[in-house]
Amino acid sequence: MEFYTTRQIAKILDLKTITIRRWIDKGILPAYRFGTELRIDKTEFEKFVKERRIKP
């Protein structure tokens, strides 16, 4: 498994880290806690992005 940090996700999507944390807190973006750090599985992140595609 490969993981992203909340900072990496924020950078990829050009958003603030707090936005990513809010998505995680609301259950919109699945994450894992390792100690004090939150990590997002790469496969789950890719699925998250694909689900937000606007259909023509």
Stated pTM of the model: 0.88
The overall average pLDDT reported for the chain is: 96
Name the packing angle between helices 6-13 and 17-26 (round to 10°).
Answer: 110
pLDDT at position 34: 94
Domain that holds residue 46: 3-51
pLDDT tens figures, 1-28: 899 999 999 999 999 999 999 999 999 9
**pLDDT confidence tier of residue 56, bands split at 50, 70 and 90:** confident
How many angstroms separate the Cα of 51 from the Cα of each of 22, 36, 37?
A: 18, 28, 25
Write the DSSP symbol of residue 11: H
pLDDT at 33 over 90: yes
Looking at residue 11, which CATH number applies to its domain?
Answer: 1.10.10
21 lies in some domain: yes
Inside any domain, residue 56 = no
Residues of the chain above pLDDT 90, percent: 95
